[in-house]
Amino acid sequence: MQEDVLKYIKKHNLLTEGDVCILALSGGADSTALAYIMHSIADVYSLKLKAIHINHGIRGDEADRDADFTAKLCERLNIKYDIIYVDVPSYASLNKLSVEEAARILRYKSLYEAALKFYFKDDTEKIKKFSDISDLYKTDVFNNRVKIAVAHNKDDNAETVIMQLIRGTGLKGLSGMKAAAGMIIRPLLCAERVQIEKYLKQEGRGFVTDSTNLSTDYTRNRIRHNIIPELKEINQSAIDNINKAAEIISDTFDYLDRKVYNIIDRHMLEEEERISIPIEVLKKQPHIITAHIIRLMIARACHSLKDIASVHIDGIEALMDMQVGKSIDLPYNLRAERTYESLCIYRKDKHCNNKNIFIKMSDGSIRELSGGKMFEITVFDYIYGMEIPHSDVLKWFDADIIGSDYEVRYRKTGDFIRLEKVGRKTVKSYMADEKIPARDRGDIPLLVKGSEVVWIVGKRINERFKIHENTKKILQIRYIK
């Protein structure tokens, strides 16, 4: 089995030489096998291993027994280790989560924090810099040199697919687990549970059994102890076949992912905790693409799709044909809302259009266009030779060219600006080229005529509206922060 795991690691490029590798070690059969195998191949990859055992604060004396077992195992294998204590029941109650979900969240949080401390050798400043748990699902945070190895196997994957199918899901949920997801690697995903237990028996390796895994109070355990055996009665290869189907679905999902990202890159607006896309764009797509776009919008908003079911996706799609202002609540404190032209997903404590801009007109009146930002507008005659101000917050424009049909608002899909020596350029491209952080792009006011941007406030102005020798009147706009 060890050779099979090594081949799987090489096939999926799970490890590179010199990696830091955190082992999630519960002391059960799967993680114990993982510890022995990773220890045996450590020299092949020059791995820096460290095991983490997490006591969830649930099983009392039995949990202490497991901690003692893992400590002795690590000492025997000369693997550095830490035992981390978390209070799952309190966390579940506080956040209104199931015990299973609370345990999963705290487990991965603890593993990620342990990886930070081990990699940065307890350098608190560097640890603080990378404290965002969403980095766990990225591969470039530590130049792809830190891996967190978990002991999921083929049975776990089959159980996950069945559980997702029962609760209602799309292609993503039916794709099952991947060999690698960000920093997380699953070297045992090539083996079934019976193979792992056989390997441990042949090698004379002991392990501990978590009594809660025998209970059918939890959904996964009911699937494991009741449904899986029935499927195996029908076909002994059921586990393997479910895994193969999941792999095919995963490949299909990845293809759709690439196609959908092309649409998102062109049309989606991503502001701080607010994501929107024009409804007309969504309505042009087949249902499977629209559903996939919505899933990615949710993933962008909260970095997770774990509790998002098909009923949520269908509900969001239905908003497209409802009146403006209709909304539905989603998991993770999210809300989806139908605005005038778009579908918007945002956190409930943030409004989809909660920013106001005030214009102080030349007659002294103030007009609200859409907090706390104001523009003062004045029109006066231009005398050739006047010194044009060079200020980021005060600009002159040719009043006759700009006309009266202008407004100040925030960016929309399709906005563009004409720049000297560059010509026409989308505002999205300009902001990306200028390396303006994505979280800030939606907060920059724009002076516009339709989709043509006259002034990216604080940045550049449109070449077409600049003062020239034939200008007769000046439109002066002052940005009051």
Write a three-state SS string for 422-435. Answer: CEEEEHHHHHHHCC
Distance CA(338)–CA(318), nearest Å, equals 10
* Helix, strand or coil, per DSSP, at residue 84: strand
| Amino acid at position 433, single letter | D
Query: What span, in angstroms and rounded, lies between the C-alpha atoms of 165 and 176?
Result: 10
User: In the chain, helix, strand, coil percent, each to 5?
Assistant: 45, 20, 35
For the chain, the maximum distance between any two Cα atoms, rounded to a whole number of angstroms, is 95
Cα–Cα distances (Å) from 231 to 120, 214, 223, 227, 236, in that order, read: 47, 19, 10, 6, 8
* CA distance readout (Å), 216 to 159, 211, 221, 239: 14, 11, 5, 20
Residue 28: C-alpha distances to residues 66, 117, 185, 385, 414 (Å): 8, 25, 18, 83, 55
DSSP-derived secondary structure letter, 461: B
Which of 192, 111, 208, 200 is CA-nearest to residue 159?
192
Question: Cα(199)–Cα(456) distance, rounded to whole angstroms?
Answer: 65
Strand partners, 210: none
How many angstroms separate the CA atoms of 14 and 12, rounded? 5
Structure tokens at 183: 């920093």
95: left (phi over 0), alpha (psi -120 to 50) or beta: alpha
- The binding site consists of 26-31
- 246 phi/psi in degrees, rounded to 5: -60, -40
Which residues, in sequence order, are CB contacts of 339 under 8 Å at separation 6+?
Answer: 276, 324, 325, 352, 353
- Residue reference for tokens 């794709």: 175
Contact 50, 39 (CB under 8 A): no
Q: Are 174 and 164 in contact (CB under 8 A)?
A: yes
Annotated binding site for ATP: 26-31
